[in-house]
Structure 1
Amino acid sequence: MDEKENCADTGKFEKTYEWLTVKRDGENLYVTAQPNNTGKERTFKVVITAGDAGDTLYGTQPAQ
């Protein structure tokens, strides 16, 4: 079973890409970023889909 099917069946998903973690737990979506000590602003884009519906979440994390 792939991640998409597993998420649809269980309502759970968690994936970390470098400094950003996206987690679904039932009806809740969590986006967590590790501290940004790079000296540069970081941006992210998370594409969310459910059947034929979808949306995109964009965010910016300033440098510390």
Structure 2
Amino acid sequence: MASVKRGSNTAESGLKAGDVIVEANGRPVYYKEDLTKAIEGVRPGNPVATTVNRDGRVFTFNVRLDRPA
């Protein structure tokens, strides 16, 4: 993640700038497009299990999707 907007659902879930998303909604994420496909059809406000690599450690967060801007 290049940045995380303060006060967003992403920030409130615990994700931080610099986290590398490796899995979302049970699907591996290698590229930005993989993340897009993994959350297709998930309604805003619903949680998505998101696994990240942070400084060599793996964490999983439930991230509620924000509404599109």
Which of the two has greater strand per residue?
A: 1
Larger relative CO (CA 8 A, sep 6+): 1 or 2?
2
Q: Return the TM-score normalized by structure 2.
A: 0.28
Q: Return the TM-score normalized by structure 1.
A: 0.29
Which of the two has greater helix per residue?
A: 2
